Amino acid sequence: MITINPSDKTPIFEQICKCVCRDIAVGTLREGDRLPSARELAKMLTLNPNTVAKAYGMLERDGIIYSVQGKGCFVAKHEGKANEKLTENFRSAVREALDAGADPEELITVVKELSLRYQQNKRSE
């Protein structure tokens, strides 16, 4: 499910990309699944369709999705590409935090806490 956080400093098109990659990585979206059209998604999220089109363009460029003229956008055979993109985003966020003076040990603690919380949530589903 694609969700946008307007108070997040991450550009909206990047938030869309991250949501799609996350949904592929966790299996919510599978190879061949059709994504909503840029207009449909823009309407659902009350965004400019060009913002969604930009996100879809980036995802297509990265081989995460593909488009079929007149039919829409679909999840590509990802072979780990969505995970690669998520890892790339994570590395970028860590570098940004370190550049801002974050304590590396604190970052490790945060990752461990999030991982534990995620595992607990998965068990309770």
d(CA 102, CA 96) in angstroms, rounded, equals 9
Res. 15 pLDDT band, cuts 50 70 90: very high
Top-tier CATH class for 1-125: mainly alpha
Q: What is the pLDDT of residues 22-77, one digit of tens each?
A: 898 888 999 999 999 999 999 999 999 999 999 999 999 988 899 998 899 999 98
The answer to whether the pTM exceeds 0.85 is no
Q: What is the CA radius of gyration of the chain?
A: 16
Identify residue 72 by its one-letter amino acid code: G
